[in-house]
Amino acid sequence: MHTKRVIDMRKVTTDEQFRETVASSGVTVAVFKTTWCPDCHFIDPFMPEIEQNYAGRIEFIEIDRDDLPELCSELNILGIPSFIAFREGKEVIRFVSKLRKSREEIEQFLGRAIEVSAAL
């Protein structure tokens, strides 16, 4: 049985798209992934629901590291998946670890991203 995905994270494929999106006054979380990363596929089933839970508070974008290698190099994206929260074009906080990320860890990070952003 195939379940329908609720929200599809917006894919950003150009440097310009990325910079325009993260320049907004709200919190934007960029999720850096690739098609060949098993830990990236591990988060796929629960990310749409997380996106829905944070709708109106966080805009999510997905970036394939292989599509934008220069940007990923500039942002020092080594491990994937990596989560970076931006506000007004500046990095607020990032969640990067070598370990597989659980739903709980991702939600804790998103909560912190909102708190830190609100304090700016």
DSSP string across 56-96:
TTEEEEEEETTT-HHHHHHTT--SSSEEEEEETTEEEEEE-
Distance CA 110, CA 114 (A): 6
Active site residues: 37, 40
Residue type, 42: F
